[in-house]
Structures are given as structure tokens and as C-alpha cells.
A and B are shown apart, each in its own frame.
Chain A
Amino acid sequence: MTATARAEVLATVRAVVADILPGLSPADIAEHRHLADLGADSVDRVEIIIGLLHRLGLREPMSSFSSPPNVGALVDLLVAKGAALPGGGR
């Protein structure tokens, strides 16, 4: 995995989060912050994970994403699940 590939996954996370939480700009979504701290309630977090799996083409149970401590860890987890591979995890 290259740094570029991880950066692309991070950009996707920021775009999806900003889509679900319209008050935020992608720049607000720092890697050290937790989705809850950004104002995402439990339904928002559901929508964010569903949106990410869809956008990244990953076929992964949602339960794999139950406990990342912050945005950066979520990005790392998505990368580990194959998000940075060509064609996603399909």
C-alpha cells in the first residue's frame, strides 16, 4: 500500500463524512477525531460506514468497523480490508 493510496481512502472518508454531516467541511475531519466528536450520532455512523463500504467497493461486515477509536484508525482499517486495492475489496 502506498501513501498515495492511503491518502485517497482518507479523502473518501472525509467526503462521505461531510456528506452525512453537512455542517462539516472535509478539512474539519481530522484524523485524531472520533466520528462521535464530529457530531455523528449512531444513525449517522451507520450511514457513514454503509456509504464508505459502498464507495470503496468493499464487501465487509459492518461489525468489522465497530470500534475504531478515530478517523485515522478507520482509514487504516479500511485500507487493511482492501480499500486501497484496485477495484476495492471485490
Chain B
Amino acid sequence: MTGRYGIEALNVYAGLAHIPVPALFAGRGLDPARLDNLMMRSRSVGLPFEDPVTNAVNAAGPLLDALGPGGRDGIELLVTSTESGLDLSKSVASYVHEYLGLSRNCRLLEVKQACYAATGAIQLATGYLASGASPGARALVIGTDLALVDARAGYAEPATGHGAVAVLVGDRPAVLAIDAGAFGVYSYETLDSARPTPELDIADVDRSLFAYLDCLSGSFADYRSRVADADFLATFGYLAMHTPFAGLVRAAHRKLAREHAARVATEPDFEYRVAPSLIYPAAVGNLCSGSVYLALASLLDHADLAAPARIGLYAYGSGCSSEFFSGVADAGSAAAVAAMGIGAHLAARRELSFAEYVRLLPVTLRALVPEPDRTVDLAPYQDFRQPDRRLLVHTGSKQYHRLYEWR
């Protein structure tokens, strides 16, 4: 590895259920001609015993188990990044800290900047660790969210996912050595999508897609202004981007190629440098701020990394803020991510029929609505359990205190 700080470990939890996108299209009466541009195969669907806390804990748990005895104690910063907050004051991180069994000598924070926030947290954490304030310390950043979409969301419904991505940051960057000082940012105020209430997502599709693409050009230009000789074709062996839906990433690649590599054959370049990053996102849906790291996991599980490669990463969050940055991965990166078995866990999700999916919505759409007392009946969902996995489940709340159990 060429850098001293970066991603030590990476894992994904994308739920226990999914619905194939063609089935959702058929159930909603959406136009199947649009499947080609959407480029989505399936989407993860939340169950009533899952929430941003369980998703985060179930993503991070295997990473921490792999650290071995004492490994948890080296984590001195826990950040949950979410647009699915459970309380205006108490953070998701406070529950996650408890159920991950982290040290009491640990900073806890929750951050919000739509789908960008996890990247902002990782960059701030990397800078903090590199400051030398606490040599050898690690930071755990978890992007965790759930979906609040139904028929009202139109073509966004088949592209919205459910789950979390856990990223362990430190000075042993086995997954991605982040290039220090190599970044570009681009932000401005817009209302392209938002979650104004705990039950409602709103989106202006064109405004959001255009902002994503303007920010890609703007953040890449800023990156080039900071990194001498950075070149869209020559510098990056692969690209991984925030993926609201895979078809947008194809359009984004085409736009950057047009702006910076007019003579390249766009489609073969996309297939080689970008398509491996879209396999998991196309099977899961948009994971909000975890999405770019789901794309990174997909890339590391599917690209050829026999030789070290620099990866360009692009994070975008509505509202809006964005960053293009880079890091170096190698065969060890692929091995580290492969050990998490992400693809096998995605394949083990139970497929829902459209009728089953619709029956879940009245409960799951209210997952973020505060209720002082609630009991989650786990009995109807026994057949979603995977006996070989010990997972945290949400069992209810008592005087607003949320309750969880290991099952």
C-alpha cells in the first residue's frame, strides 16, 4: 500500500429480503421499456424488525469480530451517517456503540448530509487519525439507512435500497489506501431531494440527476486543480460512484469521458472500469451515503486487482454536497473484502412477491415514526432468518427507548 491511512475493512448488510425489479415494475404498472436505462435487477427490502441501528450493527459486527480480542478497544471514534435518524437529539450511534460492544473511551457522532455524509465523515476521520493525536487509533464510520418509498416514488421505488455499509478507517489500510490531499469537493444549496418528515421522501428527479452530474464535473475539476497531472483515463484504473441507480452512473461516466477523454471508446471503458462497481448496487438499490462504498465493495469483489490500481471515487448527497477522491487497492484489498462474503449474503436474501412486498409497506413506511411504546411481533418473519448468522433485531420501544435483541 502506498498510503498510511485509509480503509482497513469494509462490510455490507443489505437486509434479508429483496424484490426483483421486473416484479416491482409489473406490480406497479411501470413501463418495462425503462428497465434498460434504470439498469437495476433487484432491491433490498426492509422488514419490521430492521431499522438503522440493526442495519449498522449487522454491517459492522463481522468487521469487529475479525479484529480479534481487544480489537474493538482501538476504535476511538464511531460515526453513524444517516438520513434515517430516530430522534432529533439521541443518535443512532449511541445504540450502535452499545450493541457493538465498543469501548466507553470512544467518541460518538451522527452526521447528516444526505448521501454524501459518510464520505465527509471518512475524510474528517482520516485527517484526525493522520494528525497523530492518538497514534494507532481507528475510526468506524457506518452509512445506515432504510427506504421510505412506495408507489408515490414512481421509478425511484425500484431503485431505493435498504441496509448499511461499515467502513473501518485506520493506519493499516488493507482495503483502500486513501491518497492524502487528493480530493475535490463541490457544494451548493438546492432542494433536489429531501426527507421533510419521518414518513415522506420527496424528489425532483431532473433537479437531482442534473445536480449529481454538475457536482461530478465540479468535484472532478477541483480534484484536478489539486492533483498535478490527474487524468481521467490514465490516473484511475477503476471508478466507483454513488449509485442512485446504475443507469445514472453509466450516464455520469459518459459525461466525464466526453469532457476529459473525447476520443475514448466510451462503452468498453465503462465496461472495464465502471461496470464491476455496479453489480451489488444493481442488486441492492441506493443505500444513501453507504452507496459509494457498496460500489467499492462490488468493484473489489469483481475487478481484476492482480496489479495495484488507483480507484477514483465519487460521492454525492442531495442538498447538495459532493466529493471526488481516490485511493489505491490491490489483491490484498480484494481478499479482505471477499472474506466478508457480501455476494453470498446478497444471494441468500429471500425473494418477495409483489403481494408480500405491498403487505409489508404499512409497517415499514412507519419505521422512523417515533412511538413511545411499541412491540414488534417477530413471529410472522421467522422464515426470513438465516440460521448461520447471529443478527441484531429491533423488538420494540419502551418510553421512547428502542429495544434490541440478538437472534
> Which residues of A are found within 8 Å of B248, using beta-carbon distances?
42-43, 46
Who on chain B is nearest to A43 by CB?
A: B37
Are A63 and B211 in contact, CB atoms less than 8 angstroms apart?
yes
Are A42 and B209 in contact, CB atoms less than 8 angstroms apart?
yes
Q: Per-residue CB proximity of A24-65 to B under 8 Å, as 1/0?
A: 000000000000000001111111011000100000011101
Does chain A have a CB within 8 A of B375?
A: no
Contact partner of A63 (CB less than 8 A), chosen from B155, B205, B207, B254, is: B207
Are A67 and B34 in contact, CB atoms less than 8 angstroms apart?
no
Given A41-B34, A44-B37, A50-B258, is A67 in contact with B206 using a C-beta cutoff of 8 Å? yes
Are B255 and A50 in contact, CB atoms less than 8 angstroms apart?
yes
In which size bucket is the chain A interface? 10 to 19
> Which residues of A are found within 8 Å of B251, using beta-carbon distances?
43, 46-47, 50
Contact partner of B213 (CB less than 8 A), chosen from A41, A46, A54, A67, is: A46
Are A42 and B155 in contact, CB atoms less than 8 angstroms apart?
yes
> Which residues of A are found within 8 Å of B258, using beta-carbon distances?
50, 54
> Which residues of A are found within 8 Å of B211, using beta-carbon distances?
62-63
Does chain A have a CB within 8 A of B120?
A: no
Q: Per-residue CB proximity of B246-257 to A under 8 Å, as 1/0?
A: 011011001100
A interface SS class = helix
Does chain A have a CB within 8 A of B190?
A: yes
A-B Cβ contacts below 8 A, count: 54
Does chain A have a CB within 8 A of B73?
A: no
Q: Cα distance A84–B37 when bound, in Å?
A: 31
Who on chain B is nearest to A42 by CB?
A: B205
Q: Cα distance A67–B213 when bound, in Å?
A: 16
Are A41 and B214 in contact, CB atoms less than 8 angstroms apart?
no
> Which residues of B are found within 8 Å of A65, using beta-carbon distances?
206, 210
Contact partner of B214 (CB less than 8 A), chosen from A42, A63, A67, is: A63
How far, in Å, is B204 (CB) from chain A's closest CB?
7
Who on chain B is nearest to A68 by CB?
A: B206
Q: Cα distance A50–B210 when bound, in Å?
A: 10
Are A41 and B37 in contact, CB atoms less than 8 angstroms apart?
yes
How far, in Å, is A65 (CB) from chain B's closest CB?
7
> Which residues of A are found within 8 Å of B204, using beta-carbon distances?
66-67
How far, in Å, is B386 (CB) from chain A's closest CB?
35
Are A43 and B247 in contact, CB atoms less than 8 angstroms apart?
yes
5 A-B pairs with least C-beta separation: A62-B210, A43-B37, A66-B207, A63-B210, A61-B214
Residues of A that sit less than 8 Å from B by CB: 41-47, 49-50, 54, 61-63, 65-67
Sampled A-B contacts (10; CB under 8 Å): A41-B34, A41-B37, A41-B155, A42-B205, A42-B248, A43-B250, A44-B37, A50-B213, A63-B210, A66-B210
Q: A43-B248, A46-B255, A67-B206 are known; give 10 further A-B pairs, CB within 8 A.
A: A41-B34, A42-B205, A42-B209, A46-B209, A46-B210, A46-B248, A49-B210, A50-B255, A63-B190, A66-B207
